[in-house]
Structure 1
Amino acid sequence: MPLWTLHGDGRTVAPGAVVAPHERLSWPATIAMGAQHVVAMFGATFLVPTITGFPVSTTLLFSGIGTLLFLLITKNRLPSYLGSSFAFLAPVAAATAIGGTGSALAGIVAVGVLLAVVGLVVQFAGLGWVDKLMPPVVAGAIVALIGFNLAPAAWNNYKLDALTATVTLVAVILFAVLFRGFLGRVSIFLGVVVGYVFAALQGKLDFSAVDEAAWIGLPQFHFPDFASPGTWSVIAMFLPVVLVLVAENVGHVRGVATMTDSAVNQHTGRALIADGVATTLAGLGGGSGTTTYGENIGVMAATRVYSTAVYWIAGAVAILLSFSPKLGAVFNSIPAGVLGGVTTALYGLIGIIGIKIWVDNRVDFSRPVNQYTAAVALVIGIAGFTMSGGGFELGGIVLGTVAALAIYHLGNLIARARRTGADDGGPIPAVGQLGGDPQD
């Protein structure tokens, strides 16, 4: 039995039809679409290692390998590209400052292992427990605080070259609002290109490393450091990222299922396992943690081609690109002003994704328990609260996540206890006090 059956004549997609995961177009069309997916993921995937200081080529290598592993683990039935996850930016920055790159990679490995374990549980027990642990008000708060926690990092780069940063930021916004379809989805990448050219015209680029880099060569590999005394406190900062990756993967699977076949939902556990394995492998070799990519979902929605064959091509192309040190050197030459401009938009957008979770799920913010769950978590994350002791230091992301989970679940536990007391003839809760319907 062939891996894919040919869709129609292999050249066109009829109005209202989709190319299912087990189908494909002609090979020339499939190869072209695979290359298009590489372009779609590239702008975001290269940006993460550029910001964190990880080797771009190594990240590309592991994103390509991770994509192929994802296809294998999901039995070639779930189309997805695994690119660099922005959820890792804040903990990687903090971990690098505390324990260096080795500690940051140890944190990425820990996230990958835990995500794979969550995937195994989901595969056998279903998603219900995840929904109960992390309802929309909590999930939205965690995603939002991860993005907003990075605001100071954006400003640190922005102020080094405010003019270039402003040009870059304006370009990102203009591409996003003026263009529809593919160009609008890659506005971050196009903004970086504009900022890079502007910096070059001002003579602010250093091409010496690009000139010295070889066209073909092996990526640089780095390895996690689990022996450093500060590594285990660093790992704690990474654990909330698991919740973000769960939400992203579940959303991806449901999106594909909506457009193709509801049976795709049965691969949710496998998707989580696959992303966990890919992230673990990336951390072991010096690459960025991975996640399913919204940019590629957008391309699939626009083209109506959900063939997994396209992603085999995309993964292979990414691996080939990773063996060009000169390409990595080009991205490493991006100046701070460009990064400051693009991250001002990018980090804000991560925060907005969290708010969108609230909007999409119609979270009721008239309930005090929801108000405080979001409010306290966001302030902790934005202000960068820290807590140290016993050789551990917990940052704003960890503390904000703990606060969101604790306030929501303890608040609803108290509310249920008070309602039970009222039903038994106990005191009736006062209007406006903490409580209300525990369901969002």
Structure 2
Amino acid sequence: MALMSWTLHGDGRAIAADAVVTPRERLTWPRTIGLGAQHVLAMFGSTFVVPLLTGFPPSTTIFFSAVGTMLFLLITGNRLPSYVGSSFAFIAPITAAVASGGESAALGGLVATGLLLALVGVVVHFAGTRWIEVTMPPVVTGAIVMLIGLNLAPAAWGMVEASLGTALVSALAVILITVLFRGILGRLSILLGTVVGCIVAALNGEYDLTAVKDAAWIGLPDFATPTFDPSVMLMFLPVIFVLIAENIGHVKSVSAMTGEDLDPITGRALLADGVATTVAGLGGGSGTTTYAENIGVMAATRVYSTAAYWCAGLFALLLSLSPKVGALIAATPAGVLGGLSTVLFGMIAVLGARIWGQGKVDFGNPVNLIPAGVALIIGAANYTWQVGDLQFEGIILGTAAALIAYHLMAAITRWRDAANPVASPAYVEGDEQGTARD
């Protein structure tokens, strides 16, 4: 079967009650195009927030999410339906990198992360995932995800201070929309909450649309080139653990829903996400990950066709070619961003706890309790350590503390008493999708 061909599912119009449209099938093209547009709406609420919080150009970020999605589909042989959007896990290291070395240095960190993730993908393709499960048990992965969220807390408060009232309304809007609406509206709570917040900000005179009026309707995004600073690149290393968990979770989630064995392409998925992040870093976009929002759309529609994702990628590409759209996104008031970031950063932190729960981590055992606790304090307080020209901050130090303390304590425990097993089982897949992103 050719890479860019799909088999028509039935008559292409209807899906039987007990059937699904598999990745290499499609509905009629009008229906497939409509599903692609729905996937763009689902991803947009999260993808546009990342450049707003990091200062990256929104149009450039959307452009590279579209390019990354199409690269992902190519590398996985059109077998794994996915939209590749901006990862929230990159917000903290990008913010720190921009503050210390500028945007170009942050892009260098993205390139380094992407290349390392691609290398992990190659190793997984040939060696399997067992080594990841041993290196990254749930207690470690959960602690890393949680400390990333806690490390971002001061940044959220800095934006809330700009307009407390607008921030409260924005956060409340996201919360209410999430629980009041089902289907696509509920999945667009971030986007709709932003709209509500912007309306309030406009009524309060906080919304400046001058740049939107001056922007052209059609034009290329603003591209940029990376520079490579070892001290900055080190800030991005912990994100690797998050991206690995997200991609593995994505593969297993889609496999469970479609009934297809997709484990053999796990390595390709990691490689593809690494390539997408590398390309984004080379051109000025943000780091990428597979999106849980789009898994939700697939679960609701039972359509897993990769053809719909090609349509989504093309729609997003067209959207990125309008500077006016980028200017409108960039004009989002700080108070609105403060409300959104309070919800989003808190979700990142709590997702770490979800990993602990799914992995059945026993915190009655000090081997689990101490590494996680130490890592969280280091990350939340943003400990720093200067070694020559290199500066290590809270996320990298907390990650190192979790890994070293856990494996050291586990090894000593096994040596001391082989009959007393370590209380964190090997990585057990639950539904890791969304980890440190949404």
Give the secondary structure class of the aligned counterpart of 2:282. helix
**How does the TM-score come out when normalised to structure 1?**
0.95
Return the offset for 1:439: 4.6
Structure 1 counterpart of 2:320: 322
Structure 1 counterpart of 2:422: 437
Structure 2 counterpart of 1:430: none
How far apart in 2 are the matches of 1:275 and 1:258? 21
Return the offset for 1:438: 5.4
How far apart in 1 are the matches of 2:280 and 2:90? 12
Note if 1:11 corresponds to 2:9.
no
1:35-78 Cα shifts (integer Å, max 9, x gaps): 00000000100110111111111111110011001000001110
How far apart in 2 are the matches of 1:83 and 1:153? 22
Structure 2 counterpart of 1:44: 46
Greater gyration radius = 1
Cα pair 2:368 2:424 within 8 Å, conserved: no
Return the offset for 1:16: 2.2
1:358-412 Cα shifts (integer Å, max 9, x gaps): 1112111111110112111111111111111211111110011001101110001
**How does the TM-score come out when normalised to structure 2?**
0.95
Note if 1:125 corresponds to 2:127.
yes
How far apart in 2 are the matches of 1:363 and 1:181? 32
Give the secondary structure class of the aligned counterpart of 1:80. coil
1:402-440 Cα shifts (integer Å, max 9, x gaps): 0110111000111111126xx9xxxxxxxxxxx753552
Structure 2 counterpart of 1:29: 31
1:233-248 matches, within 5 Å, as: 233-248=231-246
Return the offset for 1:238: 0.2
Give the gaps of 5 or more residues in structure 2. Answer: 426-438
How far apart in 2 are the matches of 1:259 and 1:77? 14
Cα pair 1:367 1:436 within 8 Å, conserved: no
Q: Deviation above 6 Å: which 4+ runs of structure 1?
A: none
Note if 1:396 corresponds to 2:394.
yes
How far apart in 1 are the matches of 2:424 and 2:275? 34
Higher mean alpha-carbon deviation, 321-330 vs 3-12, is at 3-12
Return the offset for 1:261: 3.0
Give the secondary structure class of the aligned counterpart of 1:263. coil
How far apart in 2 are the matches of 1:168 and 1:19? 37
Note if 1:200 corresponds to 2:202.
yes
Structure 1 counterpart of 2:227: 225
Letter in 2 for 1:398: I
How far apart in 2 are the matches of 1:212 and 1:438? 60
Structure 2 counterpart of 1:284: 282
Note if 1:164 corresponds to 2:149.
no
Letter in 1 for 2:149: G
1:13-412 matches, within 5 Å, as: 13-226=15-228, 231-412=229-410
Higher mean alpha-carbon deviation, 274-283 vs 378-387, is at 378-387
How far apart in 2 are the matches of 1:358 and 1:185? 25
Structure 2 counterpart of 1:431: none
1:158-201 Cα shifts (integer Å, max 9, x gaps): 01100100100110111112122222222111111100111112
How far apart in 2 are the matches of 1:187 and 1:288? 22
Cα pair 1:74 1:271 within 8 Å, conserved: yes
Cα pair 1:41 1:296 within 8 Å, conserved: yes
The number of aligned residues is: 423
| CA-based RMSD | 1.1
Structure 1 counterpart of 2:434: none
How far apart in 1 are the matches of 2:192 and 2:150? 23
Give the gaps of 5 or more residues in structure 1. Answer: 424-434
How far apart in 1 are the matches of 2:262 and 2:308? 17
Percent of paired sites with the same residue: 61
Letter in 1 for 2:217: W
Letter in 2 for 1:21: P
